[in-house]
Amino acid sequence: MKKYLSILSLLILSVAMQAQNDTTGGIAGKLSDNEVEGQPLPFANVIIKETNKGTTSDFDGLYSLQNLEPGTYTVEFSFIGYETLQIPNVEVVGGKVTEVNTGLGASAAALDEVVISTVSRQDSEVALLLEQKSAIQIKESIGAQELAKIGVSDAGTATTKISGVTSSEASGDIFVRGLGDRYLYTTLNGLPIPSDDVERKNIDLGLFPTRVIKSVGISKTYSPSYSADQASGNIDIESRELVGSEELDLGIRVGVNTNAVGEFSNFKVSPNQDNAYFGFHQQNIPIEYTLYNQSWDPQTADAPVNRSYALTAGKKFGQKLKVLLTASQSREFEFREGEFTEYRNNNRYDYFTDVENFTQTDNTTGMLDVLYEFNDDHEIKATSLFINKLTDEVYESGRNGEGVVFEETGPAEGLNQFVRDQNIKQTRLWINQLHGTHSISEKNELNWGLGYNLVNADEPNRIRNEVNYDGEDFIQLGRMGGYQQRKSSQKIEDNEINAYVEDKITFANSEENEDDAKNIFVDFGGSYRNKQRDFVSRFFGVVERPTNTYNPTSLDNLSSVFTIENFRSGNLQINKLTPDFYQAELQSYGGFVNFNYGKDNWNINLGTRFQEDELNVDFRVNNYPTNLPQFSNQSYNNIYPSLNLKYSPNENSNIRLSASKTITLPEFKEIAPFEYVSQTGQVTRGNPDLDASNNLNFDLKYEFFPTSGQLVSLTGFYKNIQDPINKVQDRGAAGVFSYFNAGEEANIYGLELETRLDVIDNETPEDLDLEVAFNASRMWHKQDLKEVFDGETFIRTFRYNNKSEIGLQGASDWIFNGSVNVSTESENPFRASLVGNYASDKIYALGAPEAQNQGDVFYNDEIVEKGFVTLDLIVSKSLGDHWDFQFRGQNLLNPEIERVQDIRPSSTGIEATQTVRSYTRGSVLSLGINYSF
């Protein structure tokens, strides 16, 4: 009760002090010299007539006026020897930038030569660069305008277009500066959102299509207004809202996956599709009854052709209310073919040379955004986002008669193994947020948010068969373990409440007195998060008594065995495992304060946050010894300081220094020791003894803005992580991965280079413009591998193969992202973009010793995901005011995704690199048509 009273007091105090919001707007643009063929016009005067606020254009003709109250203004442009130009009725909208681009000359310019457009601050590349230029923290964003240009389809892909960011095909994680899922923090409109997957801390960003995104930003340095549970940064997705007075768009897209097309008449889906309707699955009968009431054999999809449909509608009612609704549904097919091998103690155990994955994904998304402006000072925004993702997977290996599961049969029997795993995963995510922004006075602003999130992430009916097979006619049900023929279910329900309030009081603002350029303010507030998870998993296996009573006639007719008559006869018996479950709760609350002092070219921001985190996990799982505690309770109370220093030697450049302290909390799935079995049979389980990591972060950045839409920056960074958390191959267990504080500390340092350049910028709209964007990151990283003692008693070691230190799991030495964009700005614009990405090798999982006292001889080496290149081509063309056409060619190179491991067999003693997993994803070719009313 004391804690809840503290939270309530903090919120009441913060509200009473009134904190900040973003109700103001801005005017920005570019001035050109009509007397010199449209060259930039520097040092011209720009004045808002109604307020007398003003500025001058920089060397490239760029100007910006910020913090303007919403309303209609007259903007005056003047320059010695040139005609003064006044532009009336320029509307400023809160939270947006009005771009006014024009030219001055010796004679008065006509108003029809003035280009005025009002865009969201997060939609325009120019507006985003202006925001980045003036920001206090080191932040990089990509907006809807640029996402559309390069054909990005979701938020996950959008993040990889930012420097130092890459994704892993092996795990699906997003890595920022080499740090993956557990070191990131994800928010939507500033409020935390839960994960859709028991295996991850952060939500799958691929669930957010670009039609619901205004921008995606990554703050690579820590701000105390956010949770301290981060090391590599915070990813914030800002949802769309209505721009203008009304909007109505319809879109349709069709395409193919080149791998899936090769299986056109034989693309497999699970029998669960009988209970799936319009992308939603409903389990009609209890899982136990499906053992003899549902097929065990896959079906064939009607036509593995990708398609999607989208609708966006919005309208402004009067002057106060804006409503935007967007909805979409898509179906995508993917086929992967490759190999899998598992090594234990440097010897090959399980291996398949013909692994096949068939995946059908249905994604249904709906978002409602309602914005109500009471007046120029007060605004409330409600956002509700619903996502339903249904993924049907069929995995097969060993159909060629060459598959081996080591424990199943002996060589003398002449039998190999076939494995089929069919699963359907349904994730229903409902995010509800309410935000308020209030200008209490000219120097006092309030910003607050409330959120409620609900997640149901279920695997309602997973079907697995493991059989022995001679490659021709003889088939025998697998006989080891009692659960090789099984159906299982897994259910997750997350409920979360979160809130924040922030107060900003300004003491001095440079716009009030241009002769005394100061920016002094303090902002403070608090946040609260309570996340609860209920997890349950049930297994039902079928055992044959005696062996070889039933022999299926075909690998595609296993259902002929699992009949009600065979169960009633007693020859087939049902095994039931006691349900696995865990209940988990994360409660986090904190208060923060930031003090900012800016004068002339300098800005210093000092902040600190006090945060208390309580992490409790109660579990009861079958694989965990009952004589050990069945819970994990952790509590952390810390102060997390931050420093952000900015020096601007001129209007076009900044030098930034940042330092902070943060924490990395273990995630529920990293603690609960439930064993999740992958399709290949590898197991991932949590570790109740896992501890949080503490992080020190330092950044030094130089950024130069040659023009309004261009950027060149260089960043150096260093991170020290105490007790780093790693995914590790657990000792003495086949195919088991777990999570450990495998070292005392890890050190990461690196360089990031980013450029965005307009190579060709024609004044004639019909001519082609050429833009090049490129970023590269080079990282050096290592961590020690520790030995654990209880006093002088040796407990265990994480050292293996004579290694006492190793690189950080998930970190690539090199990351490259680049794009080449050509476009016209004519009445019917044309755009084409070629986008590439490369991330070098990264550690998928650390190795481990098999024998604790002989780890240099008996061990499993680390598994490495090899680097690869991806390439996308996007071409779009507008026809008139209503029609838009777009072609996308994604993953054009279709590279092989490969994981490898160094193996030293005892028979030869010679080390060699072996492939443990490989596949290709296929290229995706699609054509989209959009009609705007």
Which tens digits make up the pLDDT trace of 310-323? Answer: 999 999 998 899 99
Average confidence score pLDDT of the chain? 85
CA 694, CA 230: separation in Å to the nearest integer? 10
Q: What is the mean pLDDT of residues 630-657?
A: 92
Q: Report pLDDT for 185.
A: 87
The pLDDT confidence band at residue 446, using thresholds 50, 70 and 90, is: very high
Over residues 383-406, the mean pLDDT reads 93
Range 832-854 average pLDDT? 88
Q: Are 389 and 426 in contact (CB under 8 A)?
A: yes
- pLDDT confidence bin for 710, thresholds 50/70/90: confident
Share above pLDDT 90 across residues of the chain, in percent, rounded to a whole number: 49
Which pLDDT belongs to residue 304? 94
Confidence of residue 565 (pLDDT cuts 50, 70, 90): very high
pLDDT of residue 128: 57
Question: How many Å apart are CA 379 and CA 366, to the nearest integer?
Answer: 23
Average pLDDT of the residues in 345-366: 93
Pairing, β 276-277 against β 280-281: antiparallel
CATH superfamily of 2-119: Carboxypeptidase-like, regulatory domain (2.60.40.1120)
Residue 21 has pLDDT above 50, yes or no: no
Q: Report the DSSP pairing between strands 683-685 and 736-740.
A: parallel
Question: Is residue 795 predicted with pLDDT exceeding 50?
Answer: yes
**Is residue 577 scored above 60 in pLDDT?**
yes
CA distances in angstroms from 917 to 631, 869, 924, listed in the order given: 35, 18, 22
Alpha helices in 204-309 (DSSP H): 258-261, 290-293
Q: SS3 of 112, please?
A: helix
Q: Token pair of 560, please? A: 């002929």
**Between 209 and 571, the higher pLDDT residue:** 571
What is the chain's length?
933
Element (H, E) at 484: none
- Residue 684's nearest CA partner among 898, 427, 417, 863 is 863
Q: Please give the helix or strand (H or E) that residue 153 lies within, else none.
A: none
pLDDT higher than 90, residue 480: no
623 CB neighbour count, 10 Å cutoff: 11
Please give the average per-residue pLDDT across 194-207, as a whole number. Answer: 74
Question: Alpha-carbon distance 129 to 429, whole Å?
Answer: 33
Most confident of 493-502, 785-794, 904-913: 493-502
> pLDDT confidence of 465, banded at 50, 70, 90?
very high
pLDDT band at 681 (very low <50, low <70, confident <90, very high): confident
Helix (H) or strand (E) holding 756: strand 745-760
Angle at the Cα of 613 from the Cα atoms of 607 and 617, rounded to 5 degrees: 160
Each residue of 277-292: pLDDT tens digit?
A: 999 999 888 999 999 9
Does residue 728 register a pLDDT over 50?
yes
How high is the pLDDT of residue 1? 42
Arithmetic mean of pLDDT, 409-431 = 92
Q: Picking from 107-116, 381-390, 699-708, 763-772, which range would have the lowest pLDDT averaged per residue?
A: 107-116
CA distance linking residue 485 with residue 544, whole number of Å: 9
| Three-state secondary-structure class, residue 137 | coil
The whole-number pLDDT of residue 237 equals: 85
Would you state the pLDDT for residue 432?
A: 96
* Contact in structure between 185 and 664 (CB atoms under 8 Å): no
pLDDT at 138: 61
Tell how strand 883-890 and strand 842-845 pair up: unpaired
pLDDT at 585: 96
